Amino acid sequence: MSVQLAQIIASSILVYPDDRFLNRREELLRLSENLDDDYAFPFMEFFNATNHLTIDSLAKHYVEVFDMRRKCSLFLTSWTHGDTRNRGMALLHFKEIYRESGMVLTDEELPDHLAVVLEFAAIKDPIAGRLLLGEHRAPIELLKTSLHEINSYYAFVLDAIVATLPAMTPELAERARALALSGPPKEYVGLSGAVNVALLPFSSSQSLISDGGRR
């Protein structure tokens, strides 16, 4: 449950920050305090670091980080496929996995957005979601590193996400090193990080998981 709750809190933070996020901020903070330390501490760092920001300031930071920097993409397949035809096949792979578990996306949602994958893993199918996140451990690790390098508030959120993942294997470590050297494919031209992932209508950590979130 703690892993699932950490993943759904991270999913809620990684959407474009608007008034809905502002209205849920205190509840997300309160839920974070009840997590295991490995997850709670990074979330508390994020909330403490952003407490002084207006929602407009946080939104500006979000856009500057996730929309303007090639090595800070929240779209996992952009790291490995760029903006190519092969990426379309990779996105289809995500959609098919979601469909098998009964999760249907809106037209505005891309299936490889990290917030969407985290929600899927936390609410719809933890086993399939864990496999998807594991398959993309390398880009998630690189995203975390990139965010720390630019001192982004969101680096703390990635720390919490990585803490929910299985241990790094030598193969995944090698993939991460290769991506660190090459970065996302150069033909990647950017897709807005401000994907419309609706925040979850929850009132407690239990309802957050058991109610099936926004779907």
> So what's the pLDDT on residue 78?
83
pLDDT for residue 25 is more than 90:
yes
What is the pLDDT confidence band of residue 106, given thresholds at 50, 70 and 90? confident
How far is residue 121's CA from residue 136's CA, in Å, rounded to a whole number? 13
Q: Tokens 């950017």 — which residue? A: 190
Q: pLDDT tens digit string along 107-117? A: 777 899 999 99
- As a residue count, the chain comes to 215
How far is residue 29's CA from residue 79's CA, in Å, rounded to a whole number? 30
> So what's the pLDDT on residue 32?
97
Q: Tokens 């403490």 — which residue? A: 48
Q: Tell me what the pLDDT averaged over the chain comes to.
A: 81
Q: pLDDT tens digit string along 167-210? A: 766 665 665 565 555 555 555 444 444 444 443 433 344 445 44
3-state secondary structure of 113: strand
The domain segmentation of the chain, as residue ranges, is: 2-182
pTM across the whole model: 0.79
Average pLDDT (87-113) is 84
DSSP-derived secondary structure for 54-76: -HHHHHHHHIIIIIT-GGG-SBH
Beta carbons of 62 and 17 less than 8 angstroms apart: yes
pLDDT for residue 155 is more than 60:
yes
